[in-house]
Amino acid sequence: MLVDYHMHLENGPKELSYVEKFLKTAKERGISEIGISEHCYRFHEAKHLLDNEWTAKRNVDSLKEYLDLLNEAKSRGWPIKIGIEIDYIPENEELIRDFVAKYEWDYVLGSVHWLGSFGFDLKENLAIWEKSNIEELWKQYFNTLLQAARSGIFDSLPHPDLIKIYGFYPQNDLSDFLNQIFEEIAKTGVALEASTAGWRKPIGEMYPSEFILGLIKKHNIPLTLASDAHFAEDVGKDFNKMIPLLHKAGFSEFVSFERRQKKLERLNK
């Protein structure tokens, strides 16, 4: 059994026929179960959780329609889990907590894309990177990731080293700092995500890097599996490259979810 728990329907119609395309690709790539995890900022009902000029233009969908669609798919026996990806904004933690509690999910992803007003993974913000203190941004990112873990709101934290997306690395060695971060994350019980999406980004490697994957294994943090597909053709893409790297790092299990309950599954070769 393999699962892909991170994908988005935002580029197509909110219809069962579109969901079927994701399932078809999953089946072709040996994926037994998929999880849809749309970006929270797209939903009118969640506008208050992250409201800036960039997200306002994308706040166009109905959460009710999204949940109705996925519940209908599940009622037909389709191997689908209902998730959502929420941007963790520390000052909005209680708002996020209240929002999550209002609805029934199979799992909730907590991601870090924003450091204050800086959307660091947006192409239009590359100029900000070029004049920033890279080490400070890295430390701010991983400290925010740790805050997300400690919040207890989320089941898994996706693309845990997303900060590397454009290849801006600190000059100083942050190994000790990163080891401490993952040691603390391990205490929270949250899972972290292994994602093939990085191979489709400028950095050209999986999330997380092999170094950070080693830290995750060292501290026995469980993994979820993901492609972060925004189109059906990317579901399960490059899992054949990722799974051997996970085995190489010592992983023999991954996590699946059902109504927020975690289960360990065997990671077959």
- pLDDT tens-digit map of 155-188: 999 999 999 999 999 999 999 999 999 999 999 9
pTM of the predicted model as reported, rounded to 2 decimal places: 0.97
Q: Give the model confidence (pLDDT) of 18-39 as tens digits.
A: 999 999 999 999 999 999 999 9
Q: Which two tokens stand for residue 15?
A: 């219809």
pLDDT in tens, 136-146: 999 999 999 99
pLDDT in the model for residue 44: 98
Q: How far is CA 90 from CA 55, 87, 98, 163, in A?
A: 17, 10, 14, 17
Q: How far is CA 259 from CA 82, 83, 107, 143, 256, in A?
A: 9, 10, 7, 28, 10
pLDDT at 268: 85
Structural domain range at position 132: 3-266
Asked whether the predicted pLDDT for residue 55 surpasses 90, the reply is yes
CATH number for the domain including 74? 3.20.20.140
Kindly report the average pLDDT of the chain as a whole number.
97
Q: Is the peptide bond before 222 cis (omega within 30 degrees of 0)?
A: no
Under 8 Å between Cβ of 109 and 83? yes
pLDDT band at 17 (very low <50, low <70, confident <90, very high): very high
Number of domains present in the structure of the chain? 1
pLDDT tens digits for 87-146? 999 999 999 999 999 999 999 999 999 999 999 999 999 999 999 999 999 999 999 999
